[in-house]
């Protein structure tokens, strides 16, 4: 079997795209020698595709509401209107958080929220979302707004009887600079029927992201891993992302996927049925690292920037991922609710100095970047939490 693994990895090192079936073979390895080969290949490809420098972004999350019409089986964040713990930030609170982020050096605001049916102006959803953007843009026109997932785009379109293109264009023109590639979970409808049956299906997620690329809005890409999905379904997800990126590049769309982020499942506070089915509360680091390596090998020629989640894996786990194919350690966040409410132990904020120290432990240089991976001169020494 090691010979077969070596053949697959040699092909990857020569610049060939692996098939999903070859990816499954890699993911099913449990022999330490084979896993070491996979890790080393991912690390070498990271060096050739993204370089030795580890990047990070100074950003601030704003989860503007956790009131949501949907009931995803993994979500500990959502609440019903009036339920204990439910919240909905007003414009003053959102502006205060954005101001706080800017004062601490943020170049990006990442803004997402629950699907709140009451979040309307004059009975329409889109004007409410445009006002969220206006609230920040009027005071901070130079901030990069990384906002509103494909699921939120579909929600607005459904509520206001608009096309996806109409919604994305309006958000873009109002200040959205890029779209988070969240709500992807696993791009396999058999998984989605169990994990998030009320969410958009695979085809709709792909359509919305591709439409964003055609309209000049860059996106990220993600995978929620380590719950009920199989290695075959993980590879199907990665194959969908690779095909999506190939389409954007081959058709010369004005935007594309900027990064891939693996999001291991945290189930400590998740709804009990899924928690019982998964059988554990925290991610298995070894599984996450192997999938990280395979994602680099499978995607890296097309999506060169790969990022772990220190919120989900902890900083030590995320730092290890930098030797399994990742070239970026993520952002400072400053505030994080969705994963923390699920029981993650990684924290909600990371000081710049802490990220830099973790990277330095690997004897790799670090570089502050903007959301689109353009290097920046460091604008601050820390983001005090």
pLDDT on residue 177? 98
Of the chain, the percentage scoring pLDDT greater than 90 comes to: 85
**Is residue 131 included in any domain, yes or no?**
yes
In a domain, residue 376? The reply is no
pLDDT in tens, 239-272: 999 999 999 999 999 999 999 999 998 865 656 5
Asked if pLDDT for residue 140 goes beyond 50, the answer is: yes
Residue-level pLDDT at 221: 98
Q: Is the pLDDT of residue 376 over 50?
A: yes
pTM over 0.85: yes
The CATH number of whichever domain residue 57 belongs to comes to: 3.20.20.70
Q: 347 falls in which pLDDT band (50, 70, 90)?
A: low
On whether residue 384 sits in a domain, the answer given is no
CA proximity to 120, closest of 173, 76, 172, 65: 65
According to the model, what pLDDT value does residue 220 have? 98
pLDDT band at 235; cut points 50, 70, 90: very high
Say if residue 380's pLDDT is above 90.
no
Condensed to tens digits (0 to 9), the pLDDT of residues 158-201 reads: 999 999 999 999 999 999 999 999 999 999 999 999 999 999 99
What does the pLDDT read at residue 306? Answer: 98
Query: To the nearest whole number, what is the mean pLDDT of the chain?
Result: 92
Which pLDDT belongs to residue 377?
79
Q: What range defines the domain where residue 266 resides? A: 2-368
User: In this structure, is residue 375 part of a structural domain?
Assistant: no
The pLDDT of residue 44 is 98
pLDDT at 382: 43
Whether 123 is in a domain gets the answer yes
Query: With 60 as the cut, is the pLDDT of residue 343 above it?
Result: no
- Would the pLDDT of 344 be above 50? no
Burial class (CB in 10 A: 0-12, 13-18, 19+), 348: middle
Q: Would 75 be classed as within a structural domain?
A: yes
User: Considering its fold, how many domains does the chain have in total?
Assistant: 1
The torsion angle over the Cα atoms of residues 222, 359, 147 and 269, rounded to 10 degrees, is 60
Q: How confident is the model at residue 73 (pLDDT cuts 50, 70, 90)?
A: confident
Give tens-digit pLDDT for 207-232: 999 999 999 999 999 999 999 999 99
Checking if the pLDDT of 338 tops 80, the result is: no
Report pLDDT digits (tens) over 282-319: 789 999 999 999 999 999 999 999 999 999 999 999 99
Instruction: Judge whether 297 lies within some domain.
Output: yes
What is the reported pLDDT for 283? 81
Mean pLDDT value across residues 350-359: 94
What mean pLDDT is predicted for residues 56-66? 95
- pLDDT band of 381, cuts 50, 70, 90: very low
């Amino acid at each position: 079997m090691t010979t077969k693994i070596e053949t697959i990895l040699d092909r990857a090192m020569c610049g060939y795209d692996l098939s999903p079936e070859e990816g499954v073979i890699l993911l099913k390895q449990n022999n330490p020698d084979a896993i070491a080969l996979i890790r080393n290949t991912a690390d070498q490809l990271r060096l050739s595709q993204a370089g030795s420098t580890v990047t990070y972004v100074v950003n601030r999350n704003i989860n503007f509401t956790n009131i949501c019409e949907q009931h995803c089986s993994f979500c500990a964040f959502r609440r019903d209107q009036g339920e204990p713990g439910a919240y909905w930030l007003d414009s003053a609170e959102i502006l205060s958080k954005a101001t706080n982020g800017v004062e601490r050096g943020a170049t990006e605001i990442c803004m997402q929220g629950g699907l709140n049916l009451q979040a309307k102006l004059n009975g329409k959803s889109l004007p409410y979302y445009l006002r969220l953007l206006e609230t920040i843009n009027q005071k901070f026109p130079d901030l990069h707004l990384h906002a509103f997932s494909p699921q939120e785009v579909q929600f607005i379109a459904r509520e206001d009887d608009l096309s996806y293109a109409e919604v994305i264009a309006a958000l873009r023109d109002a200040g959205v600079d890029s779209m988070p590639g969240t709500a992807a979970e696993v791009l396999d409808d058999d998984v989605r029927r169990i994990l998030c049956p009320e969410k958009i299906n695979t085809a709709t997620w792909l359509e919305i992201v591709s439409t964003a690329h055609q309209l000049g809005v860059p996106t990220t890409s993600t995978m929620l891993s380590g719950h009920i999905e199989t290695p075959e379904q993980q590879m199907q997800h990665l194959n969908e992302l690779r095909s999506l990126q190939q389409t954007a590049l081959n058709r010369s769309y004005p935007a594309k996927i900027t990064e891939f982020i693996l999001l291991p499942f945290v189930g400590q506070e998740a709804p009990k049925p899924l928690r019982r089915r998964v059988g554990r509360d925290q991610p298995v680091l070894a599984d996450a690292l192997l999938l990280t390596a395979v994602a680099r090998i499978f995607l890296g020629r097309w999506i060169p920037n790969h990022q772990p989640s220190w919120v989900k894996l902890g900083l030590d786990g995320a730092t290890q991922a930098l030797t399994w194919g990742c070239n970026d350690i993520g952002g400072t966040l400053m505030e994080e609710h969705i994963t923390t409410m699920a029981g993650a132990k990684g924290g909600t904020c990371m000081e710049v100095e802490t990220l830099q120290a973790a990277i330095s432990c690997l004897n790799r240089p670090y570089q502050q970047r903007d959301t689109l991976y353009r290097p920046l001169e460091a604008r601050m020494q820390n983001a005090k939490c």
